[in-house]
Structure 1
Amino acid sequence: MSSAYLRVPPRIKVLEALGALADGRVEVINDKEALVKSSDGTRTYKVYVDVSRREVDSTDNGTVHRGYVGYPIISFLMVKKLLPINERLMQSLKGIPWRRLNEEYKSYAKVMEVIIKDRGLNEDEVNKYIDQVLSMLRRMSLKRAQKYNEVVEE
């Protein structure tokens, strides 16, 4: 059932995951499954996490097509307390239209720059937090379970 190891995601995906928590867009179904709504509310991603087997899956584009741990998986890992949550940073990420910004700027680095500036965030604190989460994700060595066949476009 398992497939390839998933890559560490682009840095911005950690912030998108935290934003999903801030907006209350993560609905836990059971210990291994959750639903995560997109920032514009038009999509719902199915998420599967089996920590004991180091297997995960999600119907988001990053996980399915790009081979990295998508933000819906990161959000669920945060809910499960397997990844840290920076409460102050989380509160400052409420209501961000991630999809619109990603489409408008077509650069994750530019979107991060805009969010940090517009929300008055401490860039060093943001980067330190992202580094911590990505380091933990690397150590988890997660494989794609390929539980879901369909994909919901981002």
Structure 2
Amino acid sequence: MALSGTQWKMPPLVKVYEALGAIGDGRVRIEDGRRATVVSSDESKTYEVETSADGREIASNDNASYWQGYVGYPAIAVLIARGFYRPPANVTDALAGVAWKELNGKFKNDWARTIAEVEKALEQAGHDPDAVRSEAEAVLSFLRELQPVHGKRIPPPAEKPAAKSRQQTPTGN
């Protein structure tokens, strides 16, 4: 368990892609000066993120942040939404609509394969995958320079329950 004030580990590059996609999708909601929420790509979870005024202290309850100890995509997306880093709109727009959870599951969290699949789709859609990768790497450099530290620990959210179908209850004698 990470202690408050300890430095976050750096995320894999794919998490920066996911954060840029969350911005492109408009899935980040700033609640107030500290709190924000980010909806997952499949809309099954809503993550809570808290940041200090300078963005350096971060608390997030996404699985990567909570269990793996690196800055997860919701926290990265919130830093971007709060203006601590400003990627070009063409990059966030290019990554909008990517079904990250589905892709990560398909490739069993093999991040390189996920990125390769996304870059192939970007190219097919007329976007420049090299420009997107370059911007994602620039965001990662920004995070390294920021040297974010852990804020208070927020428990992870539960999956939203699947829609229940109405079941007939058999009546007996």
TM-score, normalising length from structure 1? 0.92
Task: Identify if the C-alpha distance between structure 1 residues 53 and 117 changes in structure 2 by more than 3 Å, giving closer, same or farther.
Answer: closer
**Partner Cα separation in structure 2 for residue 111 and residue 16 of structure 1:** 11
Give ranges in structure 1 of 5+ residues lacking alignment.
none
For residue 53 of structure 1, report the CA deviation from its aligned partner. 7.5
The aligned residue for residue 118 of structure 1 is 121
- Residue aligned with 2:71, SS: coil
Residue 157 of structure 2 aligns with an amino acid whose one-letter code is V
Alignment partner of 1:119: what SS? Answer: helix
Partner residue in 1 for 2:96: 94
* Correspondence for 2:18: 16
Once residues 78 and 53 of structure 1 are traced to their aligned partners in structure 2, the CA distance between those partners, rounded to angstroms, is 10
Partner residue in 2 for 1:35: 37
Structure 2: 5+ residue stretches without partners = 160-173
**Offset at residue 147 of structure 1 (A):** 4.0
Deviates more, 1:119-128 or 1:18-27: 119-128
Q: Distance in 2 between matches of 1:134 and 1:84?
A: 13
- Supply the RMSD in Å over aligned alpha carbons: 1.7
Q: Give TM-score, length-normalised by structure 2.
A: 0.82
Aligned to 1:134: 140
Sequence identity, in percent? 33
The letter of the residue matching 2:112 is A
